[in-house]
Protein backbone atom coordinates (compact mmCIF):
# COMPACT_ATOMS: atom_id res chain seq x y z
CA UNK A 1 0.00 0.00 0.00
CA UNK A 2 1.33 3.41 -0.97
CA UNK A 3 1.63 6.02 1.80
CA UNK A 4 -0.64 8.48 0.00
CA UNK A 5 -3.48 5.92 0.17
CA UNK A 6 -3.26 5.38 3.93
CA UNK A 7 -4.85 8.63 5.19
CA UNK A 8 -8.32 9.11 3.76
CA UNK A 9 -9.60 12.17 5.63
CA UNK A 10 -9.10 14.06 8.89
CA UNK A 11 -11.87 13.81 11.46
CA UNK A 12 -12.90 17.24 12.72
CA UNK A 13 -15.38 16.98 15.59
CA UNK A 14 -15.83 18.63 18.98
CA UNK A 15 -14.38 15.61 20.76
CA UNK A 16 -11.32 15.59 18.52
CA UNK A 17 -10.88 19.34 19.03
CA UNK A 18 -10.56 18.67 22.77
CA UNK A 19 -7.98 15.93 22.07
CA UNK A 20 -5.86 18.39 20.07
CA UNK A 21 -4.91 20.06 23.34
CA UNK A 22 -3.20 16.76 24.22
CA UNK A 23 -1.41 16.59 20.83
CA UNK A 24 -3.76 13.86 19.55
CA UNK A 25 -5.30 14.00 16.08
CA UNK A 26 -7.87 11.69 14.46
CA UNK A 27 -7.94 10.40 10.89
CA UNK A 28 -10.03 7.99 8.88
CA UNK A 29 -7.56 5.50 7.41
CA UNK A 30 -7.62 2.67 4.91
CA UNK A 31 -8.86 -0.69 6.17
CA UNK A 32 -5.58 -2.42 5.34
CA UNK A 33 -3.37 0.23 6.97
CA UNK A 34 -1.10 -0.80 9.83
CA UNK A 35 0.25 1.33 12.68
CA UNK A 36 3.74 1.74 11.13
CA UNK A 37 2.19 2.75 7.78
CA UNK A 38 -0.06 5.32 9.49
CA UNK A 39 2.92 6.72 11.40
CA UNK A 40 4.99 7.08 8.22
CA UNK A 41 2.10 8.66 6.30
CA UNK A 42 1.44 11.32 8.97
CA UNK A 43 5.15 12.12 9.36
CA UNK A 44 5.59 12.48 5.61
CA UNK A 45 2.38 14.44 4.96
CA UNK A 46 2.62 16.95 7.82
CA UNK A 47 6.38 16.95 8.62
CA UNK A 48 5.93 16.11 12.32
CA UNK A 49 7.20 13.34 14.61
CA UNK A 50 4.64 10.77 15.79
CA UNK A 51 5.08 9.22 19.21
CA UNK A 52 2.11 6.82 19.12
CA UNK A 53 -0.76 5.46 17.04
CA UNK A 54 -3.99 3.94 18.34
CA UNK A 55 -6.49 2.26 16.01
CA UNK A 56 -10.25 1.84 16.50
CA UNK A 57 -12.67 -0.05 14.26
CA UNK A 58 -15.96 1.83 13.92
CA UNK A 59 -18.78 -0.60 13.22
CA UNK A 60 -21.35 0.10 10.52
CA UNK A 61 -24.78 1.37 11.49
CA UNK A 62 -28.17 0.24 10.25
CA UNK A 63 -29.94 2.97 8.28
CA UNK A 64 -33.40 3.19 6.85
CA UNK A 65 -34.69 4.85 3.71
CA UNK A 66 -38.45 4.34 3.40
CA UNK A 67 -39.11 0.62 3.83
CA UNK A 68 -35.60 -0.46 2.97
CA UNK A 69 -32.97 -1.16 5.60
CA UNK A 70 -29.28 -1.08 4.79
CA UNK A 71 -26.08 -0.90 6.80
CA UNK A 72 -23.19 1.47 6.37
CA UNK A 73 -19.80 -0.19 6.02
CA UNK A 74 -17.39 -0.41 8.95
CA UNK A 75 -14.33 1.85 8.83
CA UNK A 76 -11.03 2.34 10.59
CA UNK A 77 -10.14 5.36 12.75
CA UNK A 78 -6.63 6.22 13.90
CA UNK A 79 -5.67 8.47 16.80
CA UNK A 80 -2.17 9.84 16.27
CA UNK A 81 -0.19 11.27 19.20
CA UNK A 82 2.49 13.77 18.26
CA UNK A 83 5.74 14.57 20.04
CA UNK A 84 5.60 17.53 22.43
CA UNK A 85 5.95 20.82 20.57
CA UNK A 86 4.71 19.49 17.20
CA UNK A 87 1.38 20.62 15.72
CA UNK A 88 -0.53 19.93 12.54
CA UNK A 89 -1.40 23.33 11.08
CA UNK A 90 -4.23 21.79 9.01
CA UNK A 91 -6.40 21.50 12.14
CA UNK A 92 -5.70 24.97 13.56
CA UNK A 93 -8.61 27.42 13.58
CA UNK A 94 -11.32 24.86 12.96
Select from 3.40.50.720, 3.30.70.330, 3.40.309.10, 2.102.10.10 the CATH code of 3-88: 3.30.70.330
Q: Phi/psi of residue 33, each to 5°? A: -70, 140
∠ CA 54-25-17, nearest 5°, is 130
Q: What is the pLDDT along the chain (94 residues), one digit of tens a residue?
A: 788 899 999 999 999 989 998 999 999 999 999 999 999 999 999 999 999 999 999 999 999 999 999 999 999 999 999 999 998 887 666 5
Of 7, 10, 86, 13, which Cα lies nearest the Cα of 39? Answer: 7
Instruction: Specify the pTM.
Output: 0.88
**Structural domain spans, the chain:** 3-88
Amino acid sequence: MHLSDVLQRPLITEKNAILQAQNKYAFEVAKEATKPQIKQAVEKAFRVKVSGVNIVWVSGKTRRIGRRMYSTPPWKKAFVTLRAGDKIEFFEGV
